Amino acid sequence: MSKLSSQGIKMMKYRIEIVVRRKSGVADPEGNTINDALRRLGHNEVSSVRVAKLFDIFVKSDDAFKARDAAVKIAQEVLVNPVIENFEILDIEEVQ
């Protein structure tokens, strides 16, 4: 729901979808276990599995670019440990 801020700027709400993945080369024992199980079940088409974390961050902002910038900062500051992880913004949508 958009509404006016105290300065009279129209504020929107955005849902920003951020995925945090382990960097390539960083072991993923959980992914390996799932991979092994899938192959045991006969899914021989599966070659590997990587587990990742998905965040939906809801941000109030007057435009989508600012909302995105805020999300990038949040990801860098909190969501990701840069030693082992990286992130990608998958989607931004305006929500009610």
Partner 1 sequence: MNAGVVIFPGSNCDRDTYWALSHTGLNVSYLWHEDSELGDVDFVILPGGFSYGDYLRTGAFARFSPVMRAVSDFAGKGGIVLGICNGFQILQEAGLLPGAMLPNKSLRFICDWTYISIENRNSPFTSNIRDGNVLKIPIAHFEGNFFCDDENLERIESNGQVVFRYSDESGDVILSRNPNGSLNNIAGISNERGNVLGMMPHPERASEEILGSDDGKRIFKSVAEWLTGNS
Between 21 and 61, whose beta carbon lies closer to partner 1? 21
Residues 55-84 that bind partner 1 (CB under 8 A): 78-79, 81, 83-84
Q: Rule CB under 8 A: say whether 30 interacts with partner 1.
A: yes
Q: Decide: 69 and 59 in contact? Cβ < 8 Å.
A: no
Indicate the SS3 state at residue 28.
Answer: coil
Q: Give, for 61, the enclosing helix (H) or strand (E).
A: strand 52-61
Between 26 and 95, whose beta carbon lies closer to partner 1? 26
Residue in 4, 26, 37, 52 binding partner 1, rule: CB under 8 A: 26
**What's the residue count for the chain?**
96
